[in-house]
Structure 1
Amino acid sequence: MTKHTVELGTIQETLLIPLYGRAVENLKAEAVLRDPRAEEIVAAIEYDFSRFDGLPSLAGTVLRTALFDRWVADFLADHPSGTVVELGAGLNTRHERVDSTQARWFDLDLPDVIALRRKFFTDTAQRTTISASVTDTSWPATVEEDTDGPYIFCAEAVLPFLEGTEVHHVLGMIAERFPGSLLALDTAGPEIVATQATHDALSKVEARMQWSCGDPAELATWLPGTTVRASHTLSSLPGRMYEQLPAAYQDMIDRLAEQRLPQVEEYRLSLVRLP
């Protein structure tokens, strides 16, 4: 089988970590989520994924994705015809995992990522790919063209790699153009950013996080009126989600909760309502 070569920028290469995490998870007898498309894509890409084998962060990426999936599913349960915007979509397959038959969906990422993504995904009347930086001021117009909202934006493993001023710009732009929208995001605290060179997965690539955020509530100091709807660490996931996890994951989370490691407690997954 001819495989697709990967020509991605430094930051963009990190998208391969959660992709591989989902593919590995799909092979398990008891899995947090099922993603056969991720397994197919990994098999079709020319890349040394073995560098990520056995890394604890793979499980973390799967849990993060599963929580974001839940937030999007809950949003669509309330708003079946709502709009989902993936900021830094990478090779995510949330559209395939979540019941989104009526939703309007946008997958946004940088041109090199979109070039790779187009080898595996095709636009439809309901699903549109946007080739642009999340900081670009032009992409909101594409989303606005034929949608009325409500909106949920997903920034999974994206914003920490931007400068703080860029994050401020992106959130301000979304709040201005799509007031009252939901935003699912992850944040890394100062100690995580300071020690990321020894991180099990990031140490395997050249990308480095730039923006640190100790508390998602800080976003309200940038955008007054922003409210945190939910915020979790990997050791304090929602009770309903924890109860449905395979036993091995529950055991891992229990150990993490006891250890209270800074690299776990400073990494937060949050759902916020923008003003």
Structure 2
Amino acid sequence: MAFMAKVHLTGAQATMLATLYGRALDAESSHPLLNDTMALDAVRKIDADFGATGLHRSDRITVALRAGHLDAWTREFLATHPEATVLHLGCGLDSRVYRVDPGPGVRWFDVDYPDVIELRRRLYPPRDGYETIASSVTDPAWLTRVPADRPVLVVAEGLTMYLREDEGRALVRRIVDRFPAGQFVFDAFSRRGIRMQRINKVVQVAGATLHWGVDDGAELEAIAPGLRCVTALSAFSIEGYEKLGLGYRALVGVARLLPVMRRMSVFYRLEF
């Protein structure tokens, strides 16, 4: 029998309902970009007013494209590192591990607050090589539960901006110090993007606060010795926008021409 999970989240945790809703809307559209049917199933099992998350139905496009971009970077890493560890930080209700479907040599850990992990366990099935860790990502203790004998891929979507800068930098250093080699793939807002959070409807509805802004890859490289920024790609330059309607493509084209807009949201790929 289907269940309805009552969800009461506030602050940064509440924003995960908006992105889940965006992926679900994409999945039920006539021409899905991500086609995350597990997100659609999850939305149907959660007792929440998704229409009140601040996410407009048209926003499903950017939600799907951004998730798909990090999925692609994840697959690229695992194609060249078939025996690796994946740390999906601030995983929320993202079904990325099921979309990517890593091979048997991959150990995948989803990390988020205990109430989020408990909800995940009710919504999503277990699978081989996959574990959840119920903890704040900024708590140093959780990382000791992860074996450090393989290259690591750290995936973080919609997380860095909710961390304070000192917390984020300390988290990156701990991971670099623990593992022999790896990559970080994530999105970040510029400092101007952080200052403009008052017009971010999803953030405002959730009562969340954004903190950490990153203006270029050099700032990230300075966090730890050996850390290199190999890709810094504007969110307006990721693949997929060409599939959209003329009006949406025009808006993206304008954003690409304006440096302030182009740098406001960036996907970074770091290596160490």
Aligned partner of residue 225 in structure 1, secondary structure: coil
Q: CA separation of 1:271/1:225 partners in 2, compared to 1, >3 Å: closer, same or farther?
A: same
Q: Whole-Å Cα distance in 1 between the matches of residues 134 and 246 of structure 2?
A: 38
Q: Deviations 1:187-214 (Å, cap 9, x if unpaired)?
A: 1111111121111322322011111111
Name which of structure 1's ranges 256-265 and 224-233 shifts more when overlaid on structure 2. Answer: 256-265
Partner of 1:47: 48
Partner of 1:119: 122
Partner of 1:78: 80
Name which of structure 1's ranges 123-132 and 83-92 shifts more when overlaid on structure 2. Answer: 123-132
Look up the equivalent residue of 1:108 and give its one-letter code: V
**Contact 2:89/2:159 (<8 A) preserved:** yes
Partner of 2:110: 107
Percent identical among aligned pairs is 29
Partner of 2:8: 7
Partner of 2:268: 270
In the alignment, structure 2 segments of 5+ residues that lack a partner are none
- Using the TM superposition, give the Cα deviation of residue 72 of structure 1 relative to its aligned residue in structure 2, in angstroms: 0.7
Q: Deviations 1:134-159 (Å, cap 9, x if unpaired)?
A: 11112222111xx6312101011111
Partner of 2:36: 35
**Contact 2:86/2:108 (<8 A) preserved:** yes
CA RMSD in angstroms, aligned pairs only: 2.1
In the alignment, structure 1 segments of 5+ residues that lack a partner are none
Partner of 2:186: 185
In the alignment of these two chains, the number of paired residues is 267
Q: Deviations 1:96-155 (Å, cap 9, x if unpaired)?
A: 1113132211111011111211111244441111011111112222111xx631210101
Partner of 1:89: 91
Partner of 1:258: 254
Partner of 1:26: 27
- Using the TM superposition, give the Cα deviation of residue 253 of structure 1 relative to its aligned residue in structure 2, in angstroms: 4.4
**Which TM-score applies when normalising by structure 2?**
0.90
Name which of structure 1's ranges 246-255 and 188-197 shifts more when overlaid on structure 2. Answer: 246-255
Q: Whole-Å Cα distance in 1 between the matches of residues 168 and 109 of structure 2?
A: 20
- Using the TM superposition, give the Cα deviation of residue 233 of structure 1 relative to its aligned residue in structure 2, in angstroms: 1.4
Partner of 1:235: 236
Q: CA separation of 1:13/1:89 partners in 2, compared to 1, >3 Å: closer, same or farther?
A: same
Q: Whole-Å Cα distance in 2 between the matches of residues 148 and 54 of structure 1?
A: 43
Q: CA separation of 1:223/1:105 partners in 2, compared to 1, >3 Å: closer, same or farther?
A: same
Q: Deviations 1:4-51 (Å, cap 9, x if unpaired)?
A: 111324211111111111101111222221111100101111111113
